[in-house]
Amino acid sequence: MTRSTLPIGVFDSGVGGLTVLHECLISLPAEDFLYLGDSGHFPYGTKSAEELRDRAQVIATGLLERGVKMLVIACNSATAAAGDEIRQLGAEAGVPVVTVVGPEAEIAATISGNGKVGVLATPATVASGAYRRALDSLGRPLTVTEVAAPDLAPIIQQGPTFDQGVLDTVRSYCDPLREAGVDTLILGCTHYPLVAPMLQRMLGRDVSLVTAGHAIAAAIQRELASRDELTTDRIEGDYRFLVTGDVDSFVEAGTRFLQLPLAGRAEKVEL
C-alpha cells in the first residue's frame, strides 16, 4: 500500500469533530477517513493541560500505528494543549498534522470589519491562550474577547433536546460577546456548530460565525496536494470509526452530527 492510499486520521473527544469530518467528506470525497472518537474520556474541556497532552499523544500514536497519511486534531482543547507534541510525533513518522486553531484564527482576522473578535470555547482552550496567541501572531491589531463555556459541549453531546434552560445557558455566554461589540465569533469547539442557529439569533445576523470545518478541509487539501498524496483515482472513498466509549451512543449521536450513516462502521477500541 502506497502512502497516498492510506486514510486520513481524525480524532476528537467525542462526536463534535464529526462537524469537521462532514466538511472533509464533502470537500475531499475520494479520500478514506479513519475517525477516532474518544467518548470514553469525554469531556476534554474541563481536563488539565497535562491530562490532555497525555491523552492526545496516546490517541495520535494509536492512529499512526494503524497507518494514516495525515493526522487531523479535530478538537480545540486537544489542539491547545498538545498541538506541538502531536506535530512532533507526526514529524517523526513523516505524517503531516493539521489542527483547528490556526485556520480559524486566520479567517476571523481576515473577515472582521471592526477588529473585535470573540472566541467561544471550553475552559481548557480559553485557559491555554491558544486562540489569543494565534490571533496576535497575524499582525493585525485586534480586540479579543474570550468566553469559557463549560456546559455547552456536554449539552450538545447529550442532545438533541434544547429546553429553556439550555437557551438561558447559551444566552449567558453570548452576553459578554454582545457587550464587547464583536462582529466575528470563532466557535472554538467542534461541537458548537450544532447550535450555530441559536448563537446567530442571540448575537444578531451581522456577527459572522467562524467554524473549523471549511478551513480544515482546505488545509488538508493544500497539504496533501503539496506532497502529491491526494487520492485521484476514484469518486468516493470510505469512512470508519474507532470509539473508546459506548458504540451505540456514539452511532446515535454521530449520525445526527455527520448527517450520514454510521451503523456498521464503528468499532470499540481500548487505548
Contact 16, 36 (CB under 8 A): no
**Cα dihedral 224, 82, 115, 109 in deg (nearest 10):** -10
75 is catalytic: yes
Contact 34, 60 (CB under 8 A): no
24 is catalytic: no
Rounded Cα distance between 52 and 125, Å, is: 11
How many degrees, rounded to 5, is the angle at CA 79 between CA 74 and CA 82? Answer: 130
Angle between helix 196-203 and 164-180 (nearest 10): 50
Exactly one of 21, 70, 75, 243 is catalytic; name it: 75
Exactly one of 147, 149, 152, 189 is catalytic; name it: 189
| Beta strand ranges found along the chain (DSSP E) | 8-12, 33-37, 70-73, 97-99, 116-121, 143-148, 184-188, 208-210, 239-243, 266-268
Rounded Cα distance between 152 and 195, Å, is: 9
Number of Cβ atoms within 10 Å of the Cβ of 54: 15
SS3 138: coil
User: Cα–chain-centroid distance for residue 184?
Assistant: 18
For the chain, what is the radius of gyration of the CA atoms? 18
Residues carrying an active site annotation: 75, 189
